[in-house]
Amino acid sequence: MSCPPDVNGTADSTGAITESDVIYDWNLLGGAPAPRLRKVGFHDETLRDGLQCPSVTDPPIEAKKQVIRLLDRSGVDTVDVGLPGAGPRAVADVTVLTELIRDEGLSIKPTAAARTHPADIKPIIEISEKTGVPIEVMAFLGASPIRLYAEGWDEDLLEKRTRTAIRMIKDAGLKANFVTEDTTRSQPTTLRRLFVAAIEEGVDGFTVCDTVGHASPTGVFNLVHFTRDIIRSMGADTTIDWHGHDDRGFGLVNALAAIEAGVDRVHGCVLGVGERVGNTPLDLLLVNLRLYGVIDNNLDSLAELVDLVSEHCEVPIPVSYPVFGADAFRTGTGVHAAAVIKAMRKGDDWLADAVYSGVPARWFGRRQEIEIGHMAGDSNIVFWLESRGLSTDASLVQAIRSVAKSGNRLLGNDEVMGIVNEWSAGR
């Protein structure tokens, strides 16, 4: 198709229009510099931290297997397969999921959570030896003054537990990640002492945690740079992970801030499930980094992953949830629907995705949906009928319009088909 005269941009030599011809992206163009985002590692906590949400159901093992397959297909690097120190069932699940990764040759790597206690670390070592698969141990320890006060701990005890845990993990030949709980409310002196001890014992990575969703983006920046300075001062190459919660609604934006601040890997959960109001939504983090052009992961199975977690964790997806909610690409408004339909009929999928949507539905396993309701125009009705191979006779369109305009909501597909069947029977 040819370039319309009022579009900013020039059509190519074939006369075809590209997205840059019809969309001016203020997110990337203008006076402010673009965010300093870059490709990082992605770590999924759905099957461990996510299941600590008091309202979720622990999925059956077959569903957990499929979650891992879909995470792998979406380019997620590592997955927490559980906390085997929790008991025999957890040991069994961690073993099965680790074997799945091994037997199906998946690219995703297993990690497992543990307290900084030999009783939690030992089962992970045993599972790794049994399966022949290296498992990264995520050893966690509360570090904030409020936690120390509540538990009756002191820094000497914390340092002892840190050293014992990291030494035990490294002696077993496994990767050690030291996770400080409530890092965003911890004293710098305490963190420095623990980080130095962990580095001296050969730790591979740190996970700094916003365990209760306390941090703002400024806090994220300050903490990550503090941690990086300690690592540099010791001449180490220890990596930094960010693990955030969403209590202030900052889960996603803090993850982006952490990437800008220089972390190496970001944690999240599908649908943001997790304790209290949940964790960073991993699905939306992937979506946004894809839209920024930072990653090129194939995310067309992301909708399937979100639906799977919703079904088996029994977590309803709000209709307005970005990208994966029922209403994300659904319209019953006549003017909006007409524009989408016109774009579809021009034969360009990207155009239909962009004319009334800031997110390309097709990238993430979704599609544009045109519905019929009290705000619909005839174009909605005609398109709905055409897409199902049904008659678009003017009298049928009128019959559907009459019912739709008399109501106050969208008509369900069964309701529309009822009108179609009644009209057909009367002919």
Each residue of 350-391: pLDDT tens digit? 777 777 788 988 999 988 777 787 887 888 888 778 778 889
Residue 13's pLDDT is 58
Long-range contacts (CB closer than 8 Å, 24 or more residues apart) made by 148-153: 148/190
Q: What does pTM read for this prediction?
A: 0.86
Whether residues 372 and 389 fall in one domain: yes
Q: What's the mean pLDDT in 261-271?
A: 97
Cα–Cα dist 120/168, whole Å? 11
Domain for residue 162, yes or no? yes
pLDDT-derived band at 16, boundaries 50, 70, 90? confident
Q: What is the mean pLDDT of the chain?
A: 90
Full domain range(s) for residue 362: 330-425
Q: What's the mean pLDDT in 386-398?
A: 86
Whether residues 304 and 240 fall in one domain: yes
pLDDT tens, 80-105? 999 999 999 999 999 999 999 999 99
Query: Percent helix, strand, coil in the chain (nearest 5)?
Result: 50, 10, 40
CB 269 within 8 A of CB 46: yes
Cα–Cα dist 319/313, whole Å? 17
% of residues, the chain, pLDDT over 90: 69
C-alpha distances in Å from residue 373, one per residue of 20, 228, 379, 408, 410: 33, 55, 12, 7, 4
Domain for residue 106, yes or no? yes
- Give the strand pairing for 176-181 and 330-331: unpaired
Whether residues 164 and 28 fall in one domain: no
pLDDT-derived band at 67, boundaries 50, 70, 90? very high
C-alpha distances in Å from residue 22, one per residue of 11, 28, 238, 328: 10, 15, 45, 22
Amino acid at 426: G
pLDDT-derived band at 166, boundaries 50, 70, 90? very high
Whether residues 406 and 360 fall in one domain: yes
* Buried/exposed 7-23: b ≥16 CB within 10 Å, e otherwise: eeeeeeeeeebeeebbe
Domain for residue 325, yes or no? no
Domain for residue 321, yes or no? no
Whether residues 346 and 263 fall in one domain: no
Cα–Cα dist 209/211, whole Å? 5
Whether residues 375 and 265 fall in one domain: no
3-state secondary structure 349-415: HHHHHHCCCCCCHHHHCCCCEECCCCCCCHHHHHHHHHCCCCCCCHHHHHHHHHHHHCCCCCCCHHH
Residue 303's pLDDT is 97
Tokens at 124, concatenated:
């992970």
Q: What's the mean pLDDT in 240-244?
A: 98
- CATH for 131: 3.20.20.70
Flag whether pLDDT at 5 surpasses 60: no
Cα–Cα dist 325/364, whole Å? 12
Domain for residue 305, yes or no? yes
Whether residues 28 and 46 fall in one domain: no
Residue 353's pLDDT is 74
For residue 291, count other CB atoms closer than 10 A to its CB. 17
Domain for residue 323, yes or no? no
Cα–Cα dist 363/287, whole Å? 9
Tokens at 332, concatenated:
């019953």
Whether residues 129 and 190 fall in one domain: yes
Amino acid at 366: R
Greatest CA span in the chain, whole angstroms? Answer: 87
Would you state the torsion angle of the CA atoms of residues 223, 225, 228, 229, taken in this order, to the nearest 10 degrees? -110
Whether residues 65 and 133 fall in one domain: yes
Cα–Cα dist 422/349, whole Å? 34
Whether residues 337 and 243 fall in one domain: no
Residue 334's pLDDT is 67
% of residues, the chain, pLDDT over 70: 94
Flag whether pLDDT at 3 surpasses 60: no
Residue 4's pLDDT is 39
- Smallest CA-to-CA distance from 79 within 64, 90, 92 is with 64
Cα–Cα dist 37/256, whole Å? 7
Range of lowest pLDDT (166-180, 217-231, 358-372): 358-372
pLDDT tens, 116-151? 999 999 999 999 999 999 999 999 999 999 999 999
In which residue are the tokens 């002919």 written? 427
Domain for residue 116, yes or no? yes
CB 368 within 8 A of CB 361: yes
Whether residues 164 and 205 fall in one domain: yes
Whether residues 26 and 128 fall in one domain: no
Tokens at 27, concatenated:
């997110």
Number of structural domains in the chain: 3
Domain end marker among 280, 313, 346: 313
Residue 108: helix, strand or coil by DSSP?
A: coil
Cα–Cα dist 378/276, whole Å? 45
Residue 192's pLDDT is 97
- 307 burial (CB, 10 Å; 0-12 / 13-18 / 19+) is middle
Cα–Cα dist 64/56, whole Å? 14
Domain for residue 113, yes or no? yes
